[in-house]
Chain A
Amino acid sequence: MTKITMREAISQALMEEMDRDPAVFIMGEEVGVWGGTYAVTKGFFDKYGADRVKDTPIAENAIIGGAIGAAMVGQRPIAELMTINFAFSAMDYIVNQAAKLRYMFGGQFMLPLVIRAVGGGGRQLGATHSQTPDAIFAHFPGLKVVSPGTPEDAKGLLKSAIRSNDPILFIEHATMYQVRGEVPDGEYLIPIGKSKVQRPGKDLTIVTYCKGLELSMKAADELAKEGIEAEIVDLRTLRPLDMEPVLESFKKTNRAIVVEEGWKSYGVGSEIVSRIYEEAFDYVDAPIIRVAQKEVPLPYNRTLEQAALPQVHDIVAAAKEVLK
């Protein structure tokens, strides 16, 4: 095992897959000469050249639409959205085209496409550049939505995504590129659509993913000081959603909270809570609590921004509440 950052993990995954398969190329805003606005593709332009690291105009429809077309004719493009907030400019291509073209034409087309997008708040970028709209995209059958919370998962899942024959939205978090974690030496893959227990425990289940995992792990440390053992289930993929580890954990603990960075209403947490009630109602010992972002456009001011985002202490409080 080696300890690397999230940025290095994603960068390694891209590089390994580009070395492995000449059909893989990258296209997006500032991915080439600039090296990626989050420096994920730093050095790629020099190594692979302009053909394989394509700087695009600021034109999200052309980026995602173009990547879809290239995928349909046999290439394996990785399209980068500088931030997931720009996905709204390309909404038609993500939900109306990528998610539907295969099905609508009776399975004739294959779309081996990865859309990498950076999401999340906490960097004082203001309301339009700080969103966590993951649930919106997970709503659409035909799309797969992956959002890792550790370097190990980021690398293994991204490599699987690039090898997949389906359109995948791969969501990274803007504040997590420096997060360090151990990754296995040598090549490895992590399957898409598998949730994972990231920390075992017996008193309650915390269901989360991406930034929520980082916060929940810290919260679990706090809770452990008071003798509370939280089990953390990391969804890793939002669609297709793997409920097995969640239900297995819940049937053991009978109490759960769900932690996400996006807004609470109509969110990932709403889906998880419903599924638990539908599939494990007899095991419920306490109402399940959702910890999520306050229902406001995210403000610029740091204090206000942090007040809107879910915090470690919110998770600790929710855990204690559900254990009452």
Chain B
Amino acid sequence: MKKEQLLDLYHQMVLIRRVEERGAELYQAGKIGGFMHLYIGQEAVSTGLIAAREPRDRVITAYRDHGVALNCGLSADSVMAELLGKATGTSKGKGGSMHMADTEKNMWGGHAIVGGHLPIAAGFAVGDQYAKNDNVTICMFGDGATNIGYFHEALNLAKTWGLRVLWVCENNQYGMGTAVKRASAVDEIRQKAEGYGMKNAEVDGMDVMKVYEASKAAIDYVRREGQPYLLEINTYRFRGHSMGDPERYRKSEEVKKWQESDPIGIFNKYLLEKKIATRKALDEIEARVEEEVAKAVEFAETSPEPALSELFADIYADN
């Protein structure tokens, strides 16, 4: 990757972190409603993964979607506006934190039913196979989603029909408060692909460069072979499952230990050690992010509420 691209990745990771930190404050101030699941700690996963896609490749993910949206090129303004339920949000204020999408950026949504979007991702690939193109669908989901039937139906169909789907399990070690070992028959999620004769790999999700390399190889394979692939990316969320999680299921020492592997810190160090960027250049990126986020909050707060007439809009495409 070129220097500019690497600095762009750093920018994206810091942007996700700051957007969510500000989001958490706005949530606590009562300006954001519903559920909100923060991506903090997992930034290297979608940043490295989505950097490896072609613009024509589709991305679909679960409800922890703010970071994925930003990586796909949705603006911080529209993400923040959706969090505040405004008309200018990614889904016109009708989706909220868990439902951000922009089909023009090939971001096909955060989806809130655990595992529910996996068969839909397979369907994207059915559509692309039918259209005889070689687009890849990148479907992200948590470790918890691999225990529900949807996962297995989707993987079976993908392998049976030769669908171009990259299945990406973001293993952040817990499905809500239940550790992987307590819910899954196998500790290594990637093993589940073996049962479907599907190629698979595992990668350290705290290192954006490793994620990028593994994702690139996986996407190339899927496109070239016309076969699905499962990539397990091991990571950790530094915050609770959602806002207001009492976190009784894990010890603070465990969280602290993982925080020593902060993906932004690791990448910062990499860029400095490899002399790709100076401390000053990285400080400038961080300062720019502060401005962007301040602007996004301002944009969201001053944006209009959806008109009441929107209540009945877009239920159907045909009248």
A residues near B (Cβ < 8 Å) are: 25, 27, 51, 56-57, 59, 61-62, 64-75, 77, 92-93, 96-97, 101-112, 141-142, 144, 164-166
Chain A CB within 10 A, most for which of B99, B127, B157, B313: B127
In the complex, what distance in Å separates the CA atom of A70 from the CA atom of B58?
A: 12
A selection of 26 A-B contacts at a CB cut-off of 8 Å is A25-B130, A57-B160, A59-B156, A61-B154, A65-B122, A65-B123, A65-B154, A66-B123, A67-B123, A67-B126, A68-B123, A69-B120, A69-B125, A70-B126, A75-B127, A75-B131, A92-B113, A96-B116, A102-B316, A105-B109, A106-B90, A106-B91, A106-B92, A106-B94, A108-B91, A109-B103
A74-B127 in contact given A65-B154, A105-B94 (Cβ < 8 Å): yes
In the complex, what distance in Å separates the CA atom of A111 from the CA atom of B127?
A: 12
Write the B103-145 contact mask toward A (1 if CB under 8 angstroms, else 0). 1000011000100101111111111101100000000000000
Q: Which of B152-181 contact A (CB under 8 A)?
A: 153-154, 156-157, 160
Q: Which residues of A contact B95 (CB under 8 A)?
A: 104-106
Q: Determine if B317 is an interface residue (Cβ-Cβ < 8 Å).
A: yes
B123 touches A144 (CB 8 A): no
A61 touches B149 (CB 8 A): yes
B122 touches A51 (CB 8 A): no
A69-B160 in contact given A93-B119, A107-B313, A110-B317 (Cβ < 8 Å): no
Q: Which residues of B contact A57 (CB under 8 A)?
A: 153, 156-157, 160
- Picked from A64, A72, A106, A144, the residue with its CB within 8 Å of the CB of B314 is A106
Output the least CB separation between A61 and chain B (Å): 5
Q: Determine if B299 is an interface residue (Cβ-Cβ < 8 Å).
A: no
Nearest residue (CB) in A for B157 is A62
A103-B315 in contact given A61-B153, A66-B157, A74-B127 (Cβ < 8 Å): yes
Closest 10 pairs (CB-CB, A-B)? A69-B123, A65-B119, A106-B92, A107-B314, A73-B127, A165-B317, A70-B127, A66-B123, A62-B153, A59-B153
B318 touches A56 (CB 8 A): no
Nearest residue (CB) in B for A66 is B123
Chain A CB within 10 A, most for which of B108, B130, B157: B130
Q: Which residues of B contact A71 (CB under 8 A)?
A: 123, 127
Output the least CB separation between A100 and chain B (Å): 9
A164 touches B318 (CB 8 A): yes
B119 touches A166 (CB 8 A): no
Q: Which residues of B contact A111 (CB under 8 A)?
A: 317
B120 touches A68 (CB 8 A): yes
Nearest residue (CB) in A for B124 is A69
Q: Which residues of B contact A107 (CB under 8 A)?
A: 92, 313-314, 317
Output the least CB separation between B45 and chain A (Å): 23
Q: Which residues of A contact B91 (CB under 8 A)?
A: 104-106, 108
Q: Which residues of B contact A165 (CB under 8 A)?
A: 316-318
Q: Determine if B150 is an interface residue (Cβ-Cβ < 8 Å).
A: yes
B124 touches A62 (CB 8 A): no
In the complex, what distance in Å separates the CA atom of A57 from the CA atom of B128?
A: 19
Nearest residue (CB) in A for B100 is A105
Nearest residue (CB) in B for A192 is B318
A65 touches B103 (CB 8 A): no
A103-B127 in contact given A66-B122, A142-B316 (Cβ < 8 Å): no
Q: Determine if B102 is an interface residue (Cβ-Cβ < 8 Å).
A: yes
Q: Which residues of A contact B99 (CB under 8 A)?
A: 104-105
In the complex, what distance in Å separates the CA atom of A97 from the CA atom of B127?
A: 17
Output the least CB separation between B307 and chain A (Å): 13
Q: Known A-B contacts: A66-B120, A97-B116. Give 19 more (CB < 8 A).
A: A25-B130, A65-B116, A65-B122, A66-B122, A69-B119, A69-B127, A70-B124, A70-B130, A72-B123, A74-B127, A75-B126, A97-B113, A103-B315, A105-B101, A107-B317, A108-B102, A109-B103, A110-B317, A112-B317
In the complex, what distance in Å separates the CA atom of A115 from the CA atom of B124?
A: 17
In the complex, what distance in Å separates the CA atom of A104 from the CA atom of B92?
A: 9
Q: Which residues of A contact B122 (CB under 8 A)?
A: 62, 65-66, 69
B150 touches A65 (CB 8 A): yes
- Picked from A61, A93, A110, A141, the residue with its CB within 8 Å of the CB of B315 is A141
Chain A CB within 10 A, most for which of B93, B122, B314: B314
- Picked from B108, B119, B315, the residue with its CB within 8 Å of the CB of A62 is B119
In the complex, what distance in Å separates the CA atom of A65 from the CA atom of B158?
A: 12
Q: Which residues of A contact B149 (CB under 8 A)?
A: 61
Output the least CB separation between B297 and chain A (Å): 21
In the complex, what distance in Å separates the CA atom of A106 from the CA atom of B154?
A: 26
Nearest residue (CB) in B for A27 is B126
Write the B212-252 contact mask toward A (1 if CB under 8 angstroms, else 0). 00000000000000000000000000000000000000000
Q: Which residues of A contact B316 (CB under 8 A)?
A: 102, 142, 144, 165-166
In the complex, what distance in Å separates the CA atom of A58 from the CA atom of B116?
A: 17
Chain A CB within 10 A, most for which of B92, B120, B121, B149: B120
Q: Which residues of B contact A141 (CB under 8 A)?
A: 315
Chain B CB within 10 A, most for which of A56, A77, A106, A107: A106
Nearest residue (CB) in A for B156 is A57
Q: Which residues of A contact B121 (CB under 8 A)?
A: 69
Output the least CB separation between A194 and chain B (Å): 13
Q: Which residues of B contact A104 (CB under 8 A)?
A: 91, 94-95, 99
In the complex, what distance in Å separates the CA atom of A102 from the CA atom of B92?
A: 12
Nearest residue (CB) in B for A112 is B317
Chain B CB within 10 A, most for which of A25, A62, A77, A111: A62
Q: Which residues of A contact B150 (CB under 8 A)?
A: 61, 65, 92
B126 touches A66 (CB 8 A): yes
Chain B CB within 10 A, most for which of A27, A57, A69, A110: A69
A62-B314 in contact given A69-B121, A70-B124, A108-B102 (Cβ < 8 Å): no
Q: Which residues of B contact A110 (CB under 8 A)?
A: 317
